[in-house]
Homo-oligomer: A and B are copies of this chain.
Amino acid sequence: MTALRYDVLGIGNAIVDVIAKAEDDFLVKQGMNKGGMALIDEQRAQAIYDAMGPATESSGGSAANTIVGCASFGARTAFVGKVKDDELGGAFAHDIRAANVAFATAPASEGPSTARCYILVTPDGERTMNTYLGAAQDLHPNDIDADAVASSSIVYLEGYLWDPPKAKEAFLKAADIAHKAGRKVALTLSDSFCVGRYRDEFLKLIRDKTVDILFANESELLSLYETSDFDTAAKALQMESRLSVVTRSEKGCAVVQGDKIELVPAAKIDRLVDATGAGDLFAAGFLVGHARGKDNVTAAKLGAIAAAEVIQHVGARPAVSLKDLAGQAGLPI
């Protein structure tokens, strides 16, 4: 067995977030689906950018945020994702490496620019996302470093990878390498619309045991099983016999494993500032807990701590050490 080098290796769309405040009116005028993620082309990206207010740029990407969260807990981490060798691509690479994440994916030297997600944060702290995939489209199976994958305790993949054409091949290649090396594969369903686009494929991944650990929020789970009733969806999930974690915002989460459903409350917050990254950071805490052999409830508590931190400030990556927060909560990593 390959020696363990990483607790968690993530594969995802490498994206720079362009974040601005907006009123609800703006979303309506722009025809945006509040709280969701829409894929946009370059022309629409320009139109949204022209219309939106002053913005800040910071590195994002769902799985990338999760991996940075894992690193903030002190875990050994790596990330695979495609940027272009442009200014924003350089910023993405800098930020993830500066967070102590190994990042060795070669940037594209031609083709579309580094992916951007235009995020509108409304006064209630909700975030509405518009993603121009750009260079992230070009993630290719050749970008998967077999040795790095085989030496990672968990390989974590985002459902959004189903959007770029070649990325799903990279995803499947990585999952295969991981399983052959006796490692685990985790998947987040990413977004209810993403589930709508790829429902059958995601169910197949779960049922053919490509996925060992599944992350979903409530609306993604409902979309997966095409129901509006949470209990119906939860029962369907139990039948899959996978370790699953369903996050329910301020209601906390449910860890589902076979017959057992364990409920873990959300961590207390003072004020919801920006919900961006909540699910990503929850996954970070759970993955680190799981990789380090903690029980599911403890892993979920670590997830709750990380999610609570990230929603109390603007931006999708932790502003303080999650390792310190976990220690202060009596859950040392």
Contact = CB atoms under 8 A, between A and B. Distances in A.
Contacts of A27: none
A52 B96 CA distance: 12
Interface residues of A, number: 26
A95 B315 contact: no
Interface in A27-63: 49-50, 52-59
Given A87-B86, A87-B87, A88-B87, A98 B53 contact: yes
A91 interface: yes
A32 to B, nearest CB: 17
Interface in A72-108: 86-88, 91, 94-96, 98-99
Which of A56, A88, A113 has most B Cβ within 10 Å? A56
Which of A57, A59, A98, A319 has most B Cβ within 10 Å? A57
Interface in A293-331: 315, 317, 319
Nearest to A99: B54
A58 B56 contact: yes
Contacts of A96: 54
A23 to B, nearest CB: 12
A245 interface: no
A54 B92 CA distance: 9
Contacts of A56: 56-58, 315
A216 to B, nearest CB: 28
Contacts of A50: 94
A49 B87 contact: no
Nearest to A319: B21
Nearest to A86: B87
A260 to B, nearest CB: 38
15 contacts: A49-B94, A52-B98, A53-B99, A54-B58, A54-B59, A54-B68, A54-B96, A54-B317, A55-B94, A55-B98, A56-B57, A56-B58, A86-B87, A87-B87, A87-B113
Contacts of A53: 98-99
A123 to B, nearest CB: 11
Interface in A157-206: none
Given A21-B319, A53-B98, A56-B315, 19 more contacts: A20-B98, A50-B94, A53-B99, A54-B58, A54-B68, A54-B94, A54-B95, A54-B96, A54-B99, A54-B317, A55-B58, A55-B98, A56-B56, A56-B58, A57-B57, A57-B58, A57-B91, A86-B87, A87-B113
A55 B91 contact: yes
Nearest to A19: B56
Contacts of A59: 54
Nearest to A94: B49
